[in-house]
Copies of this chain bind each other. A is one copy, B any other.
Amino acid sequence: MARAGLTPERLTLAGAELADEVGLDQVTVSALARRFDVKVASLYSHLKNSQDLKTRIALFALEELADRVAAALAGRAGKDALAAFGDAYRDYAREYPGRYAAAQLRLDTETAAASAGVRHARMTRAILRGYDLTEPDQTHAVRMLGSVFHGYVSLEMAGGFSHTAVDSQQSWEWTLDSLDALLRGQASS
């Protein structure tokens, strides 16, 4: 019988696409097998189990997102870098909602340590180079930035900002301006 040419990488990518299309929790080994027109059991030569698939998608998304953020940050500093960083996250989540959700999956400690999550942490900290912060304020600021960006993107994706007439893009820009002012230690509006 003809071989489908399955590999962990192809399965991971297809799983990521599926997540974007139908939502991360609709990503199942069975659905993936259907997509490749292959029997379910065949996937178990390439994946340990269902959890393994999800983890692979998460790691893939973390890498992809880190690459984008790195590209966006290149050559920028200060508010430019702040906005580029935030936009990269937000754009990724809007373009690939399933992958973004996967990137939030909780990984066990060793997997997380070997993941691109480390790059994310480094890049967040890099943004603050343009501002005049010393420890422990720098760590506080890293956490706050991460919180704002992740929180905003999550709530926006969940439809939380679609009830009011005010445009979400404007709130986003206001937020970026505010964060910049805050980190510069100056008044905002």
Contact = CB atoms under 8 A, between A and B. Distances in A.
A161 B139 CA distance: 10
A89 to B, nearest CB: 11
Q: Count identical subunits in the complex.
A: 2
A175 B159 CA distance: 25
Interface residues of A, number: 40
Given A150-B154, A182-B188, A187-B186, A174 B106 contact: no
Contact of A171 (B144, B154, B185, B188): B144
Contact of A155 (B137, B147, B161): B147
A182 to B, nearest CB: 5
A151 B161 CA distance: 15
Given A104-B158, A136-B170, A140-B178, 19 more contacts: A106-B158, A137-B189, A140-B171, A140-B174, A143-B152, A143-B161, A144-B148, A144-B175, A147-B147, A147-B148, A147-B149, A147-B151, A147-B175, A148-B148, A148-B151, A150-B154, A178-B182, A182-B188, A185-B189
Interface of A: 25, 104, 106, 121, 135-137, 139-140, 143-144, 146-152, 154-155, 158-161, 163-164, 166, 168, 170-171, 174-175, 178, 181-182, 185-189
